Homo-oligomer: A and B are copies of this chain.
Amino acid sequence: MDRFMQAAIEEAKKGLEEDGIPIGSVLVKDGEIIGRGHNRRVQHDDPLAHAEIDCIRSAGRIGKYNDTTIYSTLMPCYLCAGAIVQFGIKKVIAGESDTFDGAADFMKEHGVEVIDLDIEECKTIMRDFIQEKPEIWYEDIGK
């Protein structure tokens, strides 16, 4: 598997170890990981701390994003897709969109290239989590 998606999955697993929501993300520029993060809603009591938000934040104030690619173990929701569109990230690589279909069409409409790798491991992590803690998951997506 792509080493960047592997790094995003490692982030998701860190979230799980912390009793958090297992979604991970990395931001890549020039073949290097410049940001990484995972969902920390539970850990930081922060409803905005989605994986992609945590990841983009960790890269700091890089200014321009048009040469970056963001990886996420799950298709980005509208919050994270909004960040991607606003900051001008041009490419999104998602681990899966089976357990949550996210905002792929919205990103595509705004010229973002969206690739879904449809990885079984990503789906299993999310399915197990949703089964175990559905209330936390539905809180995370505002349902």
The verdict on A31 contacting chain B, using a C-beta distance below 8 Å, is no
The verdict on A79 contacting chain B, using a C-beta distance below 8 Å, is yes
* Residue-wise interface mask of A (83-94) relative to B, using a CB-CB cutoff of 8 A (1 in contact, 0 not): 101111000000
Cα distance A142–B56 when bound, in Å?
13
Q: A81-B82, A82-B80, A142-B87 are in contact. Are A53 and B61 (CB under 8 A)?
A: no
Between A61, A65, A106, the greatest number of chain B beta carbons within 10 A of the residue's beta carbon is seen for A61
Q: A79-B82, A82-B80, A82-B103 are in contact. Are A87 and B47 (CB under 8 A)?
A: yes
Cα distance A61–B142 when bound, in Å?
10
Set of chain B residues within 8 Å of A65, measured between Cβ atoms: 142
Query: When the two chains form the complex, which single residue of B86, B110, B141 contacts A79, counting CB atoms closer than 8 Å?
Result: B86
Query: When the two chains form the complex, which single residue of B45, B56, B62, B85 contacts A48, counting CB atoms closer than 8 Å?
Result: B56
The verdict on A108 contacting chain B, using a C-beta distance below 8 Å, is no
Cα distance A24–B78 when bound, in Å?
22
Q: In the complex, what residue of chain B is closest to A142 when comparing beta carbons?
A: B87
Q: Interface residues, chain A, CB within 8 Å of chain B?
A: 41, 45-48, 53, 56-57, 60-65, 77-83, 85-88, 103, 106, 110, 139, 141-142
Extra contacts besides A61-B139, A78-B110 (16): CB < 8 Å:
A46-B57, A47-B57, A47-B62, A48-B48, A48-B53, A63-B139, A64-B142, A77-B82, A78-B85, A78-B86, A79-B87, A82-B83, A82-B86, A82-B103, A87-B142, A88-B142
